[in-house]
Amino acid sequence: MAAVSEPVDLGAPWRAARPEPPPTRFHRVHGANIRVDPSGTRATRVESFAHGLCFSREPLAPGQVFLVEIEEKELGWCGHLRLGLTALDPATLAAVPEFSLPDLVSLGHTWVFAITRHHNRVPREDGPEAEAAVPSRPPALLVEPYLCIEQFRIPRDRLVGRSRPGLYSHLLDQLYELNVLPPTARRSRLGVLFCPRPDGTADMHIVINGEDMGPSARGLPAAQPLYAVVDVFASTKSVRLVQLEYGSFFPQCRPCRLCAA
């Protein structure tokens, strides 16, 4: 079981480093139309547009990114992948719901959003005026080696999608790095993580091709195990897990230009 299965002591100072989280895998419990490969790292919806729910095999550690890459798309459906977290243990579900939204969310203790760049960010605690006053980060900052999200520093290299090698692959790679392609484009990489706060709650963040979209939800129970939720929905047909190499797992975000922006 991952370290996050134990309550997080938010009253004590963060340690200088934590053990690297175990590799991410999909849970054996999933939607009726999902097939998970023997390695537990690829999930494919084999029919219809629904019954595509997947979960992480283990609860996530604080700051650990559950990162998926969109491998296959399917024309003819309206809608895309959905991503989030749940405090429900997948093994205890009487039946896996058909949809993440609204079915799984209606069971409670679940926070899931359709992937967009503009509609899954909660307002800043100091008000919308302060949020509007924050300057947007220039695309050049997306080449920083680390992504800083609250108190965490995450290596950026594998967070960004990659094209298949080919004549124009270098041009496509630049588009992924600048994050100007649609967020659910084929080979985009999407991640979810949570960041504990001093009051015992946590913020959920969604990352699209190496860019933090800001808190998508607040008030998550940081002391409870939180599983990643991936809904392989509609036009998204297949996803695979991407493993991050954290090295020494830094819970504290060291100063960098990205944080100061």
Say whether pLDDT at 29 is over 60. Answer: yes
168 pLDDT higher than 50: no
144 pLDDT band, cuts 50/70/90, is confident
- pLDDT above 60: residue 255: no
| Position 13 confidence tier, pLDDT thresholds 50, 70, 90 | very low
- Render pLDDT for 74-114 as a digit per residue (tens, 0 to 9): 999 989 999 999 999 999 999 999 999 999 999 999 999 99
The pLDDT assigned to 141 comes to 46
Could you read off the pLDDT of 206-236 as tens digits, one per residue? 999 999 999 999 999 999 999 999 999 999 9
Reduced 3-state DSSP string for the chain = CCHHHCCCCCCCCCCCCECCCCCCCECCCCCCCEEECCCCCEEEECCCCCCCEEEECCCCCCCCCEEEEEEEECCCCCCCCEEEEECCCHHHCCCCCCCHHHHHHHCCCEEEEECCCCCCCCCCCCCHHHHHHCCCCCHHHHHCCEEEECCEEEECCCCCCCCCCCCCHHHHHHHHHHCCCCCCCCCCEEEEEEEECCCCEEEEEEEECCEEEEEEEEEEECCCCCEEEEECCCCEEEEEEECCCCCCECCCCCCCHHHHC
Q: pLDDT band at residue 203, thresholds of 50, 70 and 90?
A: very high
Architecture category of domain 26-117+143-241 in CATH: Sandwich (2.60)
For Cα atoms 239, 69, 249, give the angle at the middle one, nearest 5 degrees.
Answer: 120
Q: Is the predicted pLDDT of residue 151 greater than 80, yes or no?
A: yes
User: Among residues of the chain, what percentage have pLDDT more than 90?
Assistant: 59
Q: What is the pTM of this model?
A: 0.81
